[in-house]
Structure 1
């Protein structure tokens, strides 16, 4: 963990893994689609791509992408979440690390995609967001994609106010050499025309 605790840890105390996993298990058992993020990403990938799941949590997105034939690495700072990911998919690579230091993990910089689902960006430690975006960009191959979905208002966040705007995020991406590709209102791919949630796709300059 860096000097400042991330907002996720402040909310959960770092022991929410089992509760989080149980919530999505219940949703899946009710018939809800819990793989929208993974399927959105899969539609952007060539077969057998290499994906970094940044803030992977319990591994829901990475595990589904692996089932679809991609090679996935998950990174998260929450040990309780990673314990669930390792239990569900012990053969996959799960790394415990703060995303602010992702560039120093020694990973090969040839990922076809880095995905940050589940409000990862606004739940980072305050002030580390530009470094996280830059670190993720540094691990992408030329032409690789950064995909991030996050809330922009309290109705779409477990916070009293949104700490990150789309203008902020786009600036961090531009500074990291990432160009905008598309923006959506949902993981189903609906066009973004404003509102409290956005899924952004950026591409590393070739």
Structure 2
């Protein structure tokens, strides 16, 4: 339920693309607010929607990956994640990404949460899913641009990974933290909570 005094959506006077490539599309809007304020150069980064998966094996362990990320020039733990193809259902995309990146599949799937990397500057959402009872189904099927290692860890180790900042991708920490906080040994086991 939204409060009656919520701010109103901004009005877009003009909108133009500054740059358009598959992984770098920037739009410039001229904004007018209800209170009379205006922003002549408001930049939006356009991306397709994303998915990520908290995958839990039949034994109760968590399936994580590690890969190099050039933006920070480092390797950290992550959840399996990827882009939703045009017209693809988010659940289908999540199941596809888990199978391709880790070789794990099956199990029971449910939505876990929906996130935004930054609602002030990005137009896309990330749909996080919880997959329980997953099992190895095939070898990884990676793209030429992917170098991913798979790590199956206990919930206790997953908590350590979060506590030690070994996973720093916020869109991955949030759903994993939600899952772990709802499992035995939950919130009290996190140093920052």
TM-score in terms of structure 2 length? 0.26
Greater fraction strand: 2
Asked which structure has the greater CA Rg, the reply is 2
Greater fraction helix: 1
